[in-house]
Amino acid sequence: MSARIPTLEERIRSSLPAHVAIIMDGNGRWARRRGLPRPAGHREGVKAVRRIVECCRAEGIQVLTLFAFSSENWRRPKTEVRLLLELFAATLQREVDALHRNGVQIRFIGERTAFPERLVRMMASAEATTAENDGLVLVIAVNYGGRWDLVQAMRHLAVEVAAGRVDPGEIDEARIAGHLSLADLPEPDLFIRTGGEQRISNFLLWQLAYTELYFTDVLWPDFDADCFREALAWFAGRQRRFGHTGEQVEQLKGA
């Protein structure tokens, strides 16, 4: 079961994003400013995830995608990586039942083979348990990279071409998008990055082509409902043109 993909006209008219994607940055700095070890910041960040999931459900957001662990995060100190994976597993075990009761569908995107087998099984179980839920779709990007996503899509298309199922001349944007991780979901309307950095860090490179980009200095553990609604209000004030002129957009909104 997947979220319905809004039409272009619906996306132009809507003041509410159907899909919000977030880079949750600033856990380590939050801990350091308080004289705490970095894991304390990550644990506090889990509380922020709960808050924003609840906000999305309350506001009627269809899809929330969170960048939890990038393919570049393996470069961090081994002790921090181990603690992150342990926190991920513990959080998953603790939160799945509550998410399921609230109708949240859980999905994971990214390369899973690098994770411990137990964690991979937990991820698959969470997806299976919540697969038929028709509320918020919560997508968690783990060991994910936008370039990896594109490479996987190209490999799948190459196999189809080699097998004679697809003619190279038939490859267009829609066919490429159909092989990406979020193929059956609406593309993000609003991207949020906390922590003050202003870059997308190899996150959803293809899917963010027409996304509104919102950056805030608030560190992720401090990001709360008021911060989220401030981002939604900023989004509502944007004029989304998708290549149209401003006049065309106003005509569509008034239609």
Which helix (DSSP H) or strand (DSSP E) does residue 236 occupy? helix 225-236
User: Residue 177 and residue 183: Cα distance in Å, rounded?
Assistant: 6
Closest residue by Cα to residue 21 from 151, 150, 137: 137
3-state secondary structure of 226: helix
Cβ count within 10 A of residue 71: 19
In this structure, are residues 200 and 23 in contact, taking their beta carbons and an 8 Å threshold? yes
Write out the catalytic residue numbers. 25, 73
User: Residue 159 and residue 89: Cα distance in Å, rounded?
Assistant: 34
